[in-house]
Each structure stands twice: as C-alpha cells, then as structure tokens.
C-alpha cells in the first residue's frame, strides 16, 4: 500500500469519525477530537521549541557574547518563574513575569487594533468622499453614495450603544426620541452585519463539508477503479 493511499485512508477514517457527530455525541467523534487536539498541541510545541526556544534562547547562550548573554538571561529567568504557577504555594513568584506578559500582550493587541483596524477604517471612510480618485462622474456618484452609507451606518450603530436616559415625570427613565430613532436604525445595520457574518461562516462550513464529501467520493472511485 502506497503512502498516498494510506494517508487518504486515514483522512477518510477521520472524516467519517467527525461526520458521526450527526448521529449524536459518540466515542468515535470524541476520539477524533482528542487526536486532533493532541496533534495540534504537539505541532504547536514543536514550533515553539524549534522557532522560539532554540533560536531565541538556546543559541544565544552558546555564542559567548556577554551582552547577548545578559539579554538572554532576563527572559530565561522570567520564563522559569512562570513555572512557579504550577504550585499554589509559590505561585506568587511568577506574578511579575505574568504581569509583564499580560501588559505587553495588551499593548500589542491595542496597538494592532488601532493601527491595523481603526485607523485604516477611518482612512477608508474618508477616502470614500475623495472625488479625485473617481475616473468618471458615475464613479464619483457611487463613491459618494458608498461613503454616505458607511458614515450613516457608523454613526447610527454607535448611537445604538448610547444608553443615557432621561427621567420622566412619572419616574420612569427613557431615552430621547431622536436617540430611539437612531438606535432603531443602528439595530438594522447591526442585524445586517451579523447576518452577513453568519452567512460567511455558513458558506465556509458548507464549502468544507462539500470538499470532504468530494474527498470521500473520489477515494472510493480511485479505490474501486470506477
């Protein structure tokens, strides 16, 4: 049996084990999930060892450079202190390293959100009103229409999350009617956005299922020579 046929047979086996979930939760599906999680964890550990620990930690220790050695000892000490989190009695030793890890991670996530999402979206919204980039009059019109829809959708969606309310004479609290109208339109934009996202996720899952079904059909065709 060739390697390609053997790998295809294993792929067919795991595909059927995952599809068995359609009949309900069963041991075959659980075994497939455990194997996938185990393989993913092993792959991640291998990547960390060969692409992070070895080049960033072990190799600098072998160079003999004093400056490089000092820069390597600090993260080595912080990494070892994180192992103290495994024992509740001495878990406080890893608090400093954990604080640095969380702080740097939060800063990187915030910087990525601002530079990679917020600023490009603001720039794209402003470019929609730039008529100099439109080659024709119709292009300028559709560009203006697109910009207006983006602007209205952004403003009204943000208005939906404006929860300030005024106290009425009867003691109840209610929002201003203008904000109620803005929030209602904002809900429409939010519903459209969630619908598009759900449709995208559904189409991705449907594409993956069609690919697996095609794989099963092609496997049996090749195996039986049809």
**pLDDT at site 133:** 62
Q: Is the pTM of this model over 0.85?
A: no
Q: What are 92-144's pLDDT values in tens digits?
A: 998 999 999 999 999 999 999 888 888 887 787 777 776 666 556 666 677 77
User: Which residues are CB-neighbours of 212 under 8 A, at least 6 positions away?
Assistant: 15, 19
Task: Return the domain boundaries, the chain.
Answer: 128-226
For the chain, what's the residue count?
226
Confidence of residue 168 (pLDDT cuts 50, 70, 90): low
Beta-ladder partners of 74: none
Whole-angstrom distance, CA of residue 37 vs CA of residue 208: 19
């Amino acid at each position: 049996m060739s390697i390609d046929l053997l790998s295809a047979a294993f792929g067919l086996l795991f595909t059927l084990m995952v599809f068995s979930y359609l009949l309900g939760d069963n041991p075959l599906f659980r075994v497939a999930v455990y194997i996938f999680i185990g393989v993913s964890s092993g792959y991640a550990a291998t990547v960390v060892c060969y692409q992070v620990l070895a080049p960033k930690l072990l190799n600098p220790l072998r160079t003999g450079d004093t400056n490089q050695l000092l820069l390597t000892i600090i993260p080595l000490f912080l990494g070892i202190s994180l192992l103290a989190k495994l024992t509740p009695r001495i878990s406080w030793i890893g608090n400093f390293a954990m604080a640095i890890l969380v702080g740097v991670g939060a800063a990187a996530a915030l910087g990525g959100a601002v530079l990679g999402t917020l600023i490009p979206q603001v720039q794209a919204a402003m470019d929609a009103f730039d008529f100099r980039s439109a080659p024709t009059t119709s292009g300028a019109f559709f560009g203006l229409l697109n910009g207006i829809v983006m602007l209205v959708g952004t403003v009204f969606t943000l208005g939906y999350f404006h929860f300030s309310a005024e106290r009425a004479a009867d003691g109840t609290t209610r929002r201003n009617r203008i904000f109620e109208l803005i929030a209602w339109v904002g809900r429409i934009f939010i519903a459209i956005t969630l619908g598009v996202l759900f449709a995208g996720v559904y189409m991705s899952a449907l594409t993956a299922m069609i690919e697996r079904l095609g794989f099963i059909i092609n496997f049996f065709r090749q195996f039986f020579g049809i």
